[in-house]
Amino acid sequence: MRNLYQGATGDWEVVIGLEIHAQVISESKLFSGASTKFGSEPNTQVSFVCSAQPGMLPVINEECVRQAVRTGLAMGCQINLRSVFDRKNYFYADLPQGYQISQFKDPIVGEGVVTVDLEDGSTKDIGVERLHLEQDAGKSMHDQHPSMTYVDLNRSGVALMEIVSKPDMRSAEEAGAYFKKIRSLVRYAGTCDGNMDQGSMRADVNVSVRRPGEPLGTRTETKNVNSIRYVMMVIESEIRRQVDVLEDGGTIDQETRLFEVATGTTRTMRSKEEAHDYRYFPDPDLLPLEFSQAFVDELAKEMPELSDAKKARFIKDLHISAYNAGVLVAEKESADYFEELLSATVEKSGKQVSELGTMVSNWVTGDLFGALKKLGKGITGSPVSIAHAAELLSLQVDGTISGRIAKEVFENMLESGKSPEVIVDEKGLKQVSDTGAIETMIDEILVANADKVEEYRGGKEKLYGFFVGQVMKQTGGKANPQVVNQLLRPKLDG
Amino acid sequence: MTELTKLTLSAARDGLHNRDFTAREITEQHVNAIEDAKELNTYIEVTTNQALQMADAADEMIKSGNAKSMTGIPIGIKDLYCTKGFHSCAASHILDGFKPEYESTVTSNLWNDGAVMLGKTNMDEFAMGSSNENSYYGPVKNPWRAGNSDKDTVPGGSSGGSAAAVAADISIATTGTDTGGSIRQPASFAGLVGLKPTYGRCSRFGMIAFASSLDQAGPLTKSVRDAAIMLESMAGYDEKDSTCINIPVPNYEAALTGDISGLKVGIPNEYRVDGMPGEIEKLWQQGIAWLKDAGAQIIDISLPHTKYALPTYYIVAPAECSSNLARYDGVKYGLRVTGDSLDDMYKNTRAAGFGDEVKRRILIGTYVLSAGYYDAYYLKAQRVRTLIANDFKAAYEKCDVILTPTAPSAAFELGDKISDPLAMYLNDVFTVPASLAGLPGVSVPAGLSAEGLPLGLQVLGQAFGEEQMLNVADVLEKAAAFNVKPTKWWGE
């Protein structure tokens, strides 16, 4: 079976759950008016509330509530019309209140299911347990002074959504696909920018192993893993470690672990005995958060089309392959680029959408993505504009250039940034479809290669390609292949 | 010139509006009286320059015809309120040197109406206490002494400095805060009117938190009318406090009609507690008789969960305080006692910075919220709290207001109960239930104990029923005609 791991003493099954922390896109923090702007000078985005000055009180930012509801809707989750903010109490220098305002028993979003795409083309449903809103802490900087720790409170109080999965994943690949899917969903919904390198998204990874069919094993939690690749590395490493421990007759400690990028492994951060007792209780400064179904319905109405719906539409209306559709919708920006390019090409070429869907999707997922990968750029950093790309595809559609020439022109576009029409003009790359000229050329070639003609007619049909090649050689590849075929075959067979 | 410090707030207002004297004059007299009464230890900080500036501004307001009821009235502010640029330390060592960059909403409201700040009044540290002996700045002495005794008594707490300042005529009125009786009990001990409004009536923004679900601002004054006037200025909706309720503030003074005929006054059977002195029971009966004479209907009611109120309070309030006081960690402001590690700094700072009672409550609160104890203590207490609130709801089906004693005793001697926390906690037995239910209450001076110390009666109202409650309190006050002042033993 695909999802079993072979140990020295037999098969093991891994059980994985993720807690994803996603920073809410909002102008101001969850309970104060301070700005959430990233990259500002330390302690410049701090209000009296988020620095926990005496007597200051939290007031909920309604936009953050809307964002949480939108995210819940995007994941197909139940929205709870009544939720409660609790205090999670612990001491740390970058936690000014001495507690984090979070949601414990009654989160704003309840259960749901997301479907993830796996590499073998299959899909899997992963359960979402809940989503709750909570405050981020500040940042401790231990490397600024030999004996002191500096604290930056810019992040203190920024709204986070914690999205908790059910323990439904059985491999690193599934966990990676799930993380990717959640990232895609929040980006589609416009509720989190998904920028992992800026800390906008990170995951706590829960892993346990068991013999197939047995009850759940003891899990470990690896904190603050900030890329999809690292999440997968954590899982692989934890499976190996846990299986080794268990096969050596040891037991797994329920503990919190840290991922070390340098070694690709995890190490103990704190044991169960050292675990905090957070003393959760409802925050008496905040009333329960209540809103109406109408509020939710209104947000649902304004929701943008999400990836699953978009994929289905691409397949049904644009007749493109499920594979291409899946690749395109994985990132909202790719899907947007594709759709804009498709309509620009329709306009430029005068052809129907259904005629162009496959071609345009092939070009985006093949030529363009290939080129971007080489350049190390994303779709938003593409050096080729929609207008130029549409021009290129239209030249191909109307027969002005062949597919092969199109690739050459595209290379040139990437280097020069010139429009494809200019490139085709300058280099004289227009396809030759003039039947008279091509016929004259074929006649000359047949005369010059009379011996090969004899061989062909004698049954050596493979030589057909030779004659086509000769025509292409003489036209610099510009002869319209269809025209060549139409003229060459009767003459040879004649 | 008359002794302006003896005036009630309403008389001072009338005098100021009539230009009988200026805000500057009444303020200066208070500043001098404060100097004379230093040994009472009522003020932690006297803000003389600020007071005189504010008085001059008030005089301008009066001259320009923009005077409000509070314009030019010199008042003391409990140290629990954040006042921009001034001492705001909740009488705790741990907030040493802290001067906020912001103003509490309640004091802002008062300053906008032209009130004058005399200074910051002493209190039990973080409002935890019933005798004002838990202050880092030392205990407050009650101007009242028993008979011919020269022994000091406590002014009650936690708003002890605020109570003593009004009783000693070194402030026309003061702000207090009431979590489980911290306005009403000191008012009773100092022969004053002390009003705790409905939870959500006054903003808590800028009030240093003790127990967020219970804390309310309120006035300590020389008369019910004064309390009505001052509450109107303090109260009001504030979007900066999510628990503040958006209901218009009525003209409380206009509610003092003196007519309570037909009004139903509930007498809760459960408030006859064991060991309550006979004189308190007697005073209560007297109060009932006064209201009856004024035309009220007396109704026996039951508040069956009353006996659980104190234990419930001493779970809920410490639980919230253990979390609210976590921010005092030596990192951001106030006291810092360094150590070899972050944990050491926390331990050193908090060990040095908090007093015994505060530490006791943090420990209790941390315990009742701990894993394994939460359900048995905190959760159960919250359920009982609901039952207590339901008791009042049921009672108010039958009556309009409730009359009870304010405290089970008169002021006791300084040092008497400080080593017995449970005896101290019992002081709040009559005030705590309404606090848990979020209901308003007002203490009215109604008589003297055999030893010559003031005793108060408490009128409890319905949620946002301050007008009716004040009207009854006003009738009670007139009937009691309490006009005794403490014999001055302090100063020159």
> Would you say A234 and A223 are in contact if contact means Cβ atoms under 8 Å apart?
no
Given a cut of 80, is residue A431 above it in pLDDT?
no
Contact between B268 and B460 (Cβ < 8 Å): no
Count contacts between A and B (CB, < 8 Å): 103
In this structure, the answer to whether residues A103 and A220 fall within a common structural domain is: yes
Provide the pLDDT confidence category of residue A491 given band limits of 50, 70 and 90: confident
Q: Are residues A314 and A195 in the same domain?
A: no
R_g of chain B computed on alpha carbons: 21
The residue annotated as part of the active site, out of B182, B322, B443, B449, is: B182
Chain A residues inside the 8 Å CB shell of B327: 52, 54, 96-98
Which of B243, B319, B333 is facing A287, going by the closest CB pair?
B243
* Residue/partner pairs of A315-322 with CB below 8 Å, 24 or more apart: A317/A353, A318/A342, A318/A353, A318/A354, A318/A357, A318/A361, A319/A354, A319/A357, A319/A358, A320/A357, A320/A358, A320/A361, A321/A358, A321/A361, A322/A121
* Residue A474 belongs to domain with CATH number: 1.10.10.410
DSSP 8-state secondary structure symbol assigned to residue B378 = I
Check CB contact under 8 Å for A55 and B100.
yes
User: Residue B375 gets which letter from DSSP?
Assistant: I
Tell me whether residue B151 is one of the annotated catalytic residues.
Answer: no
- Counting runs of H as helices and runs of E as strands, what totals does chain B give? 15, 11
The label of the residue with tokens 């009444």 reads B26
Classify residue B153 by its DSSP letter.
B
Say whether both A129 and A186 belong to one domain.
Answer: yes
d(CA A183, CA A203): 11
Is B182 in the active site? yes
Query: Does any CB of chain B come closer than 8 Å to the CB of residue A48?
Result: yes
Alpha-carbon gap: B242 to the closest alpha carbon of chain A (Å): 6
Task: Give exposure, A21-41, as e/b (b: 16+ Cβ within 10 Å).
Answer: bbbbbbebbbbbebbbeeeee
**Confidence band, pLDDT 50/70/90 cuts, at residue A2:** low
d(C-alpha A179, C-alpha A175), whole Å? 6
Question: Under an 8 A CB cutoff, do A284 and B211 touch?
Answer: yes
Is 70 exceeded by the pLDDT of residue A459? Answer: yes
B206 contacts A279? CB cut-off 8 A: no
B78 among known catalytic residues: yes
Cα–Cα dist B351/B345, whole Å: 10
Predicted pLDDT at B74: 98
* A93/B212 touch (CB, cutoff 8 Å), yes or no: no
- Whether residue A127 sits in one domain with residue A73: yes
On whether any CB of chain B is under 8 Å from the CB of A357, the answer is no
Q: Which residue has the tokens 């805000």?
A: B23
What is the domain range of residue A421?
307-427
Answer with the one of A300, A335, A351 that is the final residue of a domain.
Answer: A300
Of all residues in chain B, what percent carry a pLDDT higher than 90? Answer: 96
Alpha carbon A92 to chain centroid, angstroms: 34
Q: How far apart are CA A117 and CA B470, in angstroms?
A: 69
Q: How many domains does chain A have?
A: 3
List the single residue in A56, A277, A285 with the smallest CB-CB distance to B243: A285
Burial grade of A267 (CB within 10 A; 0-12, 13-18, 19 or more) = exposed
Residue B1: predicted pLDDT = 53
> The tokens of A24 are what?
């809410």
Report the C-alpha gap between B363 and B443 in whole angstroms: 31
User: Domains in chain B and their CATH numbers?
Assistant: 4-257 (3.90.1300.10)
A360 and A468 fall within a common domain: no
- Return the top range by mean pLDDT from A483-492, B117-126, B424-433: B117-126
Per residue, what are the HEC states of A311-370? HHHHHHHHCCCHHHHHHHHCCHHHHHHHHHHHHHHHHHHCCCHHHHHHHHHHHHHHHHHH
Domain C-terminal end among A258, A283, A300: A300
pLDDT digits (tens, 9 = 90+) for A222-233: 999 999 999 999
Q: Are A429 and A464 in contact (CB under 8 A)?
A: no
Give the contacts of A243 (CB within 8 A, at least 6 positions apart): A5, A7, A12, A209
Do A35 and A175 have their domain in common? yes
Three-state secondary structure readout of B60-104: HHHHCCCCCCCCCCEEEEECCECCCCCCCCCCCHHHCCCCCCCCC
Judged against a pLDDT cut of 70, whether residue B44 lies above it is answered with yes
Q: How far is it, in rounded angstroms, from Cα A223 to Cα A206?
A: 9
- Asked whether residue A363 falls in the same domain as residue A242, the answer is no
Q: Does one domain contain both A158 and A262?
A: yes
> Is there a single domain that holds both residue A219 and residue A313?
no
Q: How confident is the model at residue A39, as a pLDDT?
A: 86
Mutate to test the interface with A, among B331, B382, B383 (most CBs of A within 10 A): B331
Residues A447 and A312 in one domain: no
pLDDT tens digits, residue range A341-368? 999 999 998 888 888 999 999 999 999 9
Query: pLDDT per residue over A67-95, tens digit each?
Result: 999 999 999 999 999 999 999 999 999 99
Per the structure block, which two tokens stand in for B457? 């009666």
Q: What is the pLDDT of residues B166-190, one digit of tens each?
A: 999 999 999 999 999 999 999 999 9
Contact A91 B326 (CB under 8 A): yes
What is the model's pLDDT at position A12?
A: 96
Q: What's the pLDDT at A4?
A: 87
> Is the pLDDT assigned to residue A443 strictly greater than 90?
no
Residue in B78, B141, B196, B222 annotated catalytic = B78
Interface ipTM above 0.90 = yes
Same domain for A389 and A458, yes or no, is no
Q: Does A60 touch chain B (CB under 8 A)?
A: yes
Q: Are B75 and B174 in contact (CB under 8 A)?
A: yes
Closest chain B residue by Cα to residue A280? B369
State how far the Cα of B380 lies from the Cα of B315, in Å rounded to an integer.
Answer: 9
Count Cβ atoms below 10 Å from residue A428 Cβ, excluding itself.
8
Residue A127: its pLDDT value, please?
Answer: 98
Asked if B82 lies within 8 A of A55 by C-beta distance, the reply is: yes
Given the residues B10, B69, B104, B158, select the one marked as catalytic. Answer: B158
Q: What is the mean pLDDT of residues A384-400?
A: 89
Mean pLDDT of A198-217: 95
Co-location of A98 and A233 in the same domain:
yes
For residue B431, what pLDDT is reported?
98
The whole-angstrom separation of Cα A413 and Cα A368 is: 11
The number of angstroms, rounded, from the C-alpha of B287 to the middle of its chain's C-alpha atoms is 22
CA angle B479/B131/B123 to nearest 5° reads: 100
Task: Read off the tokens for A236.
Answer: 């692989």
Q: Is residue A1 very low, low, confident or very high in pLDDT (cuts 50, 70, 90)? A: very low
Nearest CA in chain B to A286: B242
User: What contacts B383, CB < 8 A, 6 or more positions away?
Assistant: none
Q: Are strands B74-78 and B173-178 parallel, antiparallel or unpaired?
A: parallel
Domain boundary among A427, A449, A476: A427
Mutate which of A47, A56, A57, A90 to disrupt the B interface (most B C-beta within 10 Å)? A57
What's the start-to-end Cα distance of chain B, in Å? 19
Residues of chain A neighbouring B319 (CB-CB closer than 8 A)? 281
Type of residue found at A45 = Q
- Phi, psi dihedrals of residue A25, rounded to the nearest 5°: -75, 110
- Mean pLDDT of all residues in B468-491: 96
Of the partner residues A51, A87, A149, the one whose CB lies closest to the CB of residue B332 = A51
Q: A91 touching B, CB under 8 A?
A: yes
pLDDT of A255 reads 92
* CB contact at 8 A, A362 and A403: no
Q: Which residue has the higher pLDDT, A38 or A364?
A: A364
